[in-house]
Amino acid sequence: MVRMACFWRMLLLAIEDATVGGHIFACEDGLLLGISTGVAVKAQLDVGRRPENEGKLIMITQHSFGERYLSTLLF
């Protein structure tokens, strides 16, 4: 069960957003990450680009590694 009161905002992202985030880390930073981390990266970038977040540090946690996704659309 999810307690929605614990969340102050939710973002809706598509599977394509997850692959974008995964590719960003793989290509720019050399980190092999999974789909859930890829979507977290995409959300982080979207939130960080908002004017009210200028100069703020936006952090995420790494949810998964990418080894199981090497033969999928992620890579």
pLDDT class for 55, splitting at 50, 70, 90? very high
Per domain, the residue ranges of the chain are 10-69
Picking from 10, 15, 36, the residue whose alpha carbon sits closest to that of residue 25 is: 36
Question: For 25-50, how does the pLDDT look when each residue is reduced to its tens digit (9 = 90+)?
Answer: 788 888 888 778 888 888 888 889 99
Residue 36's SS3 state is helix
Confidence check: pLDDT of 51 > 90: yes
Picking from 55, 17, 59, the residue whose alpha carbon sits closest to that of residue 39 is: 17
pLDDT class for 71, splitting at 50, 70, 90? confident
State the pTM of this model. 0.66
Nearest-5° Cα angle at 16, 55 to 22? 60
Beta carbons within 8 Å of 58's beta carbon, 6+ residues apart: 44, 47, 48
Confidence check: pLDDT of 75 > 70: no
Could you say which of 3.10.20.30, 3.40.50.800, 2.40.50.1020, 3.40.50.1100 is the CATH number of the domain covering 10-69?
A: 3.40.50.1100
